[in-house]
Amino acid sequence: MASDKVMAMRDAVARFVHDGDTVVIEGFTHLICFAAGHEIIRQGRRDLTLARLTPDLIYDQMIAAGCARKLVFSWAGNPGVGSLHAFRRAIEGRRAEAALEIEEYSHFGMVARFAAGAARLPFWPLRNYMGTDLPRANPRIKTVTCPYTGEALATVPALNPSVTIVHAQRADAAGNTQMWGLVGVQKEAAFASQRVIVVVEELVPEEVIRSDPNRTVIPSMIVSAVVVEPWGAHPSYAQGYYDRDNDFYVAWENVSRDPDHLKRYLDDFVYGVPDRAAYLAKQPQVTRLKAKERWCAGVNYGY
Amino acid sequence: MASDKVMAMRDAVARFVHDGDTVVIEGFTHLICFAAGHEIIRQGRRDLTLARLTPDLIYDQMIAAGCARKLVFSWAGNPGVGSLHAFRRAIEGRRAEAALEIEEYSHFGMVARFAAGAARLPFWPLRNYMGTDLPRANPRIKTVTCPYTGEALATVPALNPSVTIVHAQRADAAGNTQMWGLVGVQKEAAFASQRVIVVVEELVPEEVIRSDPNRTVIPSMIVSAVVVEPWGAHPSYAQGYYDRDNDFYVAWENVSRDPDHLKRYLDDFVYGVPDRAAYLAKQPQVTRLKAKERWCAGVNYGY
Amino acid sequence: MAAVAARELRDGEVVFVGIGLPNLACNLARGTHAPRLALIYESGAVGAVPERLPVSIGDPALVTGSLMVCGMADVFQLFLQNGRIEVGFLGGAQVDRYGNINTTVIGPYDRPTVRLPGSGGAAEIAVHARRTLIVAQLNPRAFPERVNFVTSPGHRYAGRTRRELGMPGAGPVKVITDKAVLEGDEVSGEMVLAGLYPGVTVDEVQAGVGWPLARRERLEAVAPPTATELRVLRNVLDPKGLFLKKQSDGKTE
Amino acid sequence: MAAVAARELRDGEVVFVGIGLPNLACNLARGTHAPRLALIYESGAVGAVPERLPVSIGDPALVTGSLMVCGMADVFQLFLQNGRIEVGFLGGAQVDRYGNINTTVIGPYDRPTVRLPGSGGAAEIAVHARRTLIVAQLNPRAFPERVNFVTSPGHRYAGRTRRELGMPGAGPVKVITDKAVLEGDEVSGEMVLAGLYPGVTVDEVQAGVGWPLARRERLEAVAPPTATELRVLRNVLDPKGLFLKKQSDGKTE
């Protein structure tokens, strides 16, 4: 029964990502699900509110492809390289017709929004933003008075996405999902979301999950679909599976700076392929990114 | 340098637990550090505020020994068995001279107090306590108005202990600590605390910790002392090391019901032994509690 | 009681499990009609498959082989407050006319005659679980018209309804006792008689309850444990009779 | 600049590390006078020992062999807001008279000439780290009297001090540039000239700063990188010259 959840990316996106949705593809540098972003572009989704701490290359591509109505974020750049030029073109010297709406926080603010969403609280308090222009730029940053100390604390509103897409190293067929390395804010984003698509490097038997329950980050009960998509996070990385394709990140600076070049990229690598397998067939360099082995020390769960 | 932190329980308690302190020995059923509680009793600490979700047998013993001025808690019983009778004697039909002060929450309230303390916020919001008598019994449960929805939410004040004692399976000499199985609220309690004593089943080389960094719950920077005390959680348990001594929990019902019997227990097993090794020498039954092997599946941290 | 409680659980539901009878009922349901029941313990174990009858809510057998173990901040915030729990099981020293439960004190709070353990996670389970089931032995001490202290909210508090008070869950839909089943009335909020165990009369039930007990128009005849239920209980779940023995002083299991 | 920044770190301190020059400076300090420096990255890696120069703040090399990896809610709540971070490193497109930093926009927020990446974790680092160090190349575009947008707070905002605004940390104690070191003045809150690199004049520094620059009574002579510092930088930390090459357009490293 539970294995009804295992499906192709095409089907998962068709069923669970709709025009107008608030979509979160999370992952801090690590485990960013480019495979899902590409499929959303291919299926021509429109009017999406894209939310994510670091929009990264995948949201730059989705903005360029016309999927986004609004971006909710805290750091919009090409990490370690430079700019997201499709994003910048949509914002700089903004004309009425260009309108990509933005809603901007700091990382802590975005993390707090997901934490509130995951706990189903309407807001989250944080000690922040005094002496900054961020609350002027974003009136959704407010304050609350502590009932014990009388102190004013900043607040951010809960973020409850329509759908969150999490890439992970492994899950079972029901969607019990394990991640390691940088785990960012994925747990909070998933629990905050109405629907969750889990995309994994490996589908594993339930017994593997059960052998190490403290490693489980997302439980099956909140998962709508499980997609098995090896290398699905390329050009980002998956700890224990493959390294970051830094050359791609560096090359993106020139690709995204030129709208025609960016369009050619989308034509070749997104619209021009039917699925992730075809994309990978065009990326022979990935074999040299395969991870070396650095296994953890085990722990005993017996009693 | 870091190994200056490794010390005997006697020294850790002498240096870091003082009369009048707010002391937390956390652990939900699992990893309750009886070894530390016994040493605190032996050293005759007084006027302590003991805080913990589930006072359990160890706080019953500390109350009986006269260490406690006040108890902060959410469930005071002998789990799966019955009552904590020393606690009940100090509370029921309370006369002025008997005064054990209490401050009472639910589990969620206590968890939220530690979460606020760990985040150094003065309060934590939760949707709770409407329709209960708990706020009448404890005026520190207040409300705050959401700046977005206007909704009234319950609040609890931060709990920032003077010292938190955490029992764990393993740590390195600097205090980087790993736990698995039930992890309760130990991470939050430790981060909320001014001082942290980590008590472990095994001292391991730093490389073991570094082989699985996602398993680390408490980082060395917040740890004051590391005590190596195998079986230090008996009669509670340590997943992967030993099972709960349920016979002891069952027997406590009769021991604690009778003040003289309880006094004899403390004389024999706490005051009458110099340290944990001597206590264990009087517990031959523990060998049958040794854990069987159920090792986890490994994960690769390579790139 | 375990069998009657087990029947209230539907396959695939997410249940917040307490130790003792609720644990037995949940595992009975899993062993009979609800194999995909997802069990969560407030200790943090999710999807537990205990190889022995757990002696406490934090038994190591709940951890070994479970699907997920998380910290208690996650249990209460991400699962319970998040609205993921469909059924919560509660017991109590006292249950009153409106399904309010007392597990805190008998007598005044500041000078109690009997000090009970307190809420634990019960207050928030009663607020947040989409519905709760109460299990308790029927007698007048346990079923006063009004509890001494409301630890876990039922359907009315100071005359106000759950909706008026802002509680997300539906509250105690049933009270399962050893003689009868009571249900929360949608209009009055009172716990009313809904079903009788075989051979039990309405008067016997009224004698165990401290308020004039209203009743449903048609009373359900609560079926005794089936052969399958008894087999699973006795042979699989509790072969040593650890739990059932305690409960079997003449009452239906 | 990396060497000068590294000298600001004391052994045993807990440092919130950004990528690029801060990462280089921190690892230089670890390789020279501060072997027990504890490095935390906002990505969640604590006590990282990268075997290669990390290309981003989330490089897998920061994870492998680190002491702890935690979620970002813990990074910001349990480490940063908790007050555990002693030093925060910040860079910025603009730094002003009071040490306010802009990494958000050049021009008006609603219609920017240049859209910069935004805060990331910088706003909260500037609020909470016990002290912050700013690193930036000295030129008038980068050092206006007033930034276009305050992303990360310095010593004054609308005339109010950090204490008046309720900020826990001490703010930017130093700005390390390629020509001089500025310090936050305890009384005025202004960034004032405190030290000069070898061969740099006060006038040259003033020419790179958009406000009349006050100065300490005695200016420190900033020592050039020692042979040991250069050896660690060039042979151990950045043997391929990945980072130092970019920075070495005639300026002191």
Give pLDDT, residue D250: 37
A226-267 pLDDT, tens digit per residue, is 999 999 999 999 999 999 999 999 999 999 999 999 999 999
- Is A145 within 8 Å of B144 when comparing Cβ atoms? yes
Kindly report the pTM of this predicted structure.
Answer: 0.97
Instruction: Look at residue D62 in the predicted model and tell me its pLDDT.
Output: 95
Residues of B in contact with D14 (CB under 8 A): 221
> How many residues belong to chain B?
303
* Cis upstream peptide for B230 (omega within 30°): no
Q: Which long-range contacts (CB under 8 A, 24 or more apart) does A275-281 make?
A: A275/A8, A275/A9, A275/A10, A275/A39, A276/A9, A276/A35, A276/A38, A276/A229, A276/A231, A276/A232, A279/A35, A279/A38, A280/A231, A280/A234
Per-residue pLDDT tens digits for B48-79: 999 999 999 999 999 999 999 999 999 999 98
pLDDT interval class at B98 (50, 70, 90):
low
Tokens of B45: 């600490």
Residue A2, pLDDT > 80, answer no
Rounded CA-CA distance D88/D132 in Å is 5
Q: Tell if the CB–CB gap between C118 and B104 is shorter than 8 Å.
A: yes
The distance of B184 to chain C (nearest Cα, Å) reads 5
Predicted confidence (pLDDT) at residue D251 exceeds the cutoff of 50: no
For the segment A128-138, the average pLDDT, to the nearest whole number, is 98
- The SS3 of residue D75 is helix
Residue B94, pLDDT score = 67
Q: How far apart are CA C194 and CA C216, in angstroms?
A: 5
What does the angle CA D90 – CA D93 – CA D95 come to, to the nearest 5 degrees?
70
Higher pLDDT, B182 or C17: B182
Contact yes or no for B188 and C71 at CB 8 A: yes
pLDDT (average), residues A169-181 = 98
Shortest alpha-carbon distance between residue D67 and chain A (Å): 12
CA distance A181 to A170: 13
Helix (H) or strand (E) holding C14: strand C14-17
Q: In Å, how far is D108's CA from the nearest CA of chain B?
A: 27
Q: Which contiguous run of DSSP H or E holds residue B171?
A: strand B163-171
pLDDT of the residue at C18: 78
Q: What is the pLDDT of residue C252?
A: 36
pLDDT at D51 (0 to 100): 86
Chain B residues with CB-CB distance to D61 below 8 A: 303
Min CA distance, B297 vs chain A (Å)?
6
Tell me how far apart the alpha carbons of residues B197 and B226 are, in angstroms, rounded to a whole number. 6
Q: Which residue of C has its CA nearest to A118?
A: C78
Question: CB of C188 within 8 Å of any CB in chain B?
Answer: no
Question: Tell me, what amino acid is at C96?
Answer: D
Determine the Cα–Cα distance for residues A113 and A107; give it in Å rounded to an integer. Answer: 10
Whole-number CA gyration radius for chain C: 17
Q: In angstroms, what is the C-alpha Rg of chain A?
A: 20
The stretch A124-134 carries a mean pLDDT of 98
DSSP B232: T
Output the pLDDT for position C249.
42
Give me the percent of chain D exceeding a pLDDT of 70. 95
Q: Is the dihedral of CA A132, A133, A137, A143 positive or negative?
A: positive
Residue among B57, B9, B46, B48 nearest B236 (CA): B57
Q: Cβ of A29 under 8 Å from any chain C Cβ?
A: no
The domain spans of chain D are: 2-237
- Which one of A93, A115, A185 has the shortest CB-CB distance to D113? A93
Tens of pLDDT along A65-83? 999 999 999 999 998 889 9
Closest CA to C85 of C46, C118, C128: C128
State yes or no: pLDDT of B1 exceeds 60.
no
Domain range C2-237, CATH class: alpha beta
3-class state of residue B269 by DSSP: helix
Mean pLDDT (whole number) for D202-220: 97
For residue D245, what pLDDT is reported?
Answer: 59
Residue B269 near residue B65, CB atoms below 8 Å: no
Looking at chain D, how many residues does it have?
A: 253
Are B179 and B31 in contact by the 8 Å Cβ rule? The answer is: yes
The whole-number average pLDDT for the span B210-236 is 98
Which two tokens mark A279? Answer: 């994309």
Mean pLDDT lowest among B93-107, C88-102, C181-195, D236-250: D236-250
| Confidence band for D248, pLDDT divided at 50, 70 and 90 | very low
> pLDDT at residue C250 above 50?
no
Quick one: D240 exposed, middle or buried, by C-beta within 10 A (0-12, 13-18, 19+)?
Answer: exposed
pLDDT at residue C22 above 50?
A: yes
| Mean pLDDT in residue range A152-177 | 98
Work out the average pLDDT over B266-279: 98
Which pair of structure tokens corresponds to residue C250? 């003449």
Nearest alpha carbon to residue A174 among C31, C36, B296:
C36
CB spacing of A214 vs C69 below 8 angstroms? yes
Q: Is residue B52 within 8 Å of residue B31, measured between CB atoms?
A: no
Given a contact cutoff of 8 angstroms between Cβ atoms, the answer to whether D99 and D134 are in contact is yes
Residue A168, CB-side half-sphere exposure with 13 Å CA sphere: 34
Among the ranges given (C78-82, C244-248, D91-95, D123-127), the one the predictor scored with the smallest mean pLDDT: C244-248
Contact partners, residue D113, CB within 8 Å, separation at least 6: A92, A93, D105, D106, D107
A150 pLDDT higher than 50: yes
Question: Are C146 and C97 contacting, i.e. CB atoms less than 8 angstroms apart?
Answer: yes
pLDDT at A95: 62
Percent of chain B with pLDDT over 90: 95
Return d(Cα C98, Cα C191) in angstroms, integer: 6
Higher model confidence: residue D49 or residue C201?
Answer: C201
Check A298 against B295: CB less than 8 A apart.
Answer: yes
What local confidence, expressed as pLDDT, does residue D249 receive?
42
Chain B residues with CB under 8 Å of A295 CB are 211, 298-301
Domain assignments of chain A as residue spans, ordered by start: 2-106+160-281
pLDDT of residue C50: 87
Q: Domain A2-106+160-281, CATH 3.40.1080.10 — does that match?
A: yes
Band (A98; pLDDT cuts 50, 70, 90): low
ipTM above 0.90, yes or no: yes
What amino acid occupies position D202? V
DSSP string, chain A: -GGGGB--HHHHHHHH--TT-EEEE--SSBS--HHHHHHHHHTT--SEEEE-SS-HHHHHHHHHTT-EEEEEES--SBTTTB--HHHHHHHTT--TTT--EEEE--HHHHHHHHHHHHTT-SEEEES--TTSSHHHH-TT-EEEE-TTT--EEEEEE----SEEEEEEEEE-TT--EE--S--TTHHHHHHH-SEEEEEEEEE--HHHHHT-GGGEEE-GGG-SEEEE-TTTTTTSBBTTTB---HHHHHHHHHHHHSHHHHHHHHIIIIIT-SSHHHHHHT-GGGGGGBPPP-BPPP-B---
Looking at chain A, which subunits does it touch, using at least 3 CB pairs closer than 8 Å as the criterion?
A: B, C, D
pLDDT of residue C225: 93
The SS3 call for residue C220 is strand
**Quick check: D44 contacting A, CB < 8 Å?**
yes
Nearest residue to A210 via CA among C48, C79, C60, B300:
C48
Report percent pLDDT > 90 for chain A. Answer: 95
Q: What is the pLDDT of residue C253?
A: 36
- Between chains, do B211 and A299 touch, taking CB under 8 Å as contact? no
What is the percentage of chain C residues whose pLDDT exceeds 90?
Answer: 81
Question: Does the structure show a pLDDT above 60 at D246?
Answer: no
